[in-house]
């Protein structure tokens, strides 16, 4: 299907991160940032077509705008998975062409697909024909021996030919052999200039840059060259950065850390009532007081007490009290 994306809709995004950006994390991030575009963890098309769709697609209404990220390389299966995602209410279907892990490679999806732009284009066409929501692609600037801008250029041309209008580009090349995914987070170096060039030469593309963005000043700098910026680990380890970025880009005053935390109470208690353990939610809150007085005590209390079978909101209150104690003592 054809759509004309508003580039502003991708101005601030939170990257899909395996084991991190689950529905509890996304709900918390939405409280911090009303405007950021949120992404699910990657879900394989096979799991979605043949597995527990209700579980895999579960999300809260409050999370929107939210994108479902799919991994796969079989056009018909991806199209079916995309239909399930659109039917579940997701605002975007994103194809992963950037993950370098061995498990992903063995399934012939993720970053290894950058070597096969024609196949990726076929996948995108099938998905676009299946759904009316935007179908986007998240890729790298290259993979292994692909070390020239021309490789990224050819990939972008193939995506445009398939109808892609939004491309999220992780500005680091993926090494599929010889480096672990963890090592590949730091090596080889980031090449933001290559992504900027892509935007200049393909102005019709909405280009979102990803990789190594850890501060508001960096984010602002990137937005002078591309349409959007996607925060990854920084949004998880220092989530209040999302609140500051949202206020800087759209105006208004960010909620205080305490206000954002207390706004989680209704959600947490509802989840506890349905059998969710506090530890599954609390782990996403650990970085809220990153770099703040009392932040270490906040993390320690949540880490030590949230895993208990009977842990409830009182654990969060205790962690918050530990943060506020230094200010009370100083007064």
Q: Which residues are catalytic?
A: 99
- Residues in the chain, how many? 331
DSSP per-residue codes, 67-81: EEEEE---HHHHHHH
Q: Is it true that the peptide bond before 65 is cis, omega within 30 degrees of 0?
A: yes
DSSP 8-state code for residue 287: T
DSSP per-residue codes, 2-57: -----GGGGSEEE---TTTSSHHHHHHHHHH-SSPEEEPPPEEHHHHHHS-HHHHT
Q: Are 69 and 96 in contact (CB under 8 A)?
A: yes
The backbone region for 308, taken as left when phi is positive above 0, alpha when psi lies in -120 to 50, beta otherwise, is beta
Q: Which residue bears the tokens 């024609």?
A: 118
Q: Are 322 and 297 in contact (CB under 8 A)?
A: yes
- 10 Å Cβ neighbour count for 301? 20
- 10 Å Cβ neighbour count for 29? 22
Pairing of strands 43-44, 37-39: unpaired
Q: Are 243 and 289 in contact (CB under 8 A)?
A: no
**Closest Cα to residue 36, out of 259, 254, 305, 324?**
254
CA-to-CA separations, 26 to 13, 90, 100, in angstroms, rounded: 11, 13, 23
Pairing of strands 135-140, 228-231: unpaired
Query: How far apart, in whole angstroms, are the C-alpha atoms of residue 74 and residue 86?
Result: 18
């Amino acid at each position: 299907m054809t759509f004309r994306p508003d580039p502003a809709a991708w101005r601030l995004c939170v990257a899909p991160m395996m084991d991190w950006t689950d529905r509890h994390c996304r709900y918390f991030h939405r409280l911090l940032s009303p405007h950021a575009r949120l992404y699910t963890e990657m879900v394989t098309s096979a799991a979605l077509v043949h597995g527990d769709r209700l579980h895999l697609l579960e999300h809260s209404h409050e999370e929107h705008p939210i994108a479902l990220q799919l991994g796969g390389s079989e056009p018909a299966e991806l199209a079916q998975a995309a239909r399930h995602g659109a039917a579940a209410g997701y605002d975007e279907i994103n194809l992963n062409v950037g993950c370098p892990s061995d498990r992903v490679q063995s399934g012939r999806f993720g970053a290894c697909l950058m070597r096969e732009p024609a196949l990726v284009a076929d996948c995108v066409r099938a998905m676009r024909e299946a759904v009316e929501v935007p179908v986007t692609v998240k890729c790298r600037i290259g993979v292994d021996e692909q070390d020239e801008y021309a490789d990224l250029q050819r990939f972008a041309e193939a995506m445009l030919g398939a109808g892609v209008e939004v491309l999220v580009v992780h500005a680091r090349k993926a090494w599929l052999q010889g480096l672990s995914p963890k090592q590949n987070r730091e090596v080889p170096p980031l090449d933001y200039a290559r992504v900027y060039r892509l935007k200049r030469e393909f102005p019709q593309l909405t280009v979102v840059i990803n990789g190594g963005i850890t501060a508001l000043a960096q984010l602002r700098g990137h937005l002078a060259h591309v349409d959007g910026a996607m925060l990854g680990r920084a949004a998880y380890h220092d989530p209040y950065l999302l609140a500051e970025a949202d206020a800087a880009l759209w105006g208004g005053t960010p909620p205080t850390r305490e206000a954002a935390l207390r706004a989680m109470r209704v959600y947490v208690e509802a989840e506890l009532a349905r059998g969710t353990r506090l530890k599954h939610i609390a782990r996403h809150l650990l970085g809220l007081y990153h770099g703040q007085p009392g932040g270490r005590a906040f993390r320690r209390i949540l880490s030590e007490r949230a895993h208990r079978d009977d842990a409830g909101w009182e654990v969060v209150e205790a962690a918050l009290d530990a943060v506020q104690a230094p200010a009370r003592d100083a007064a």
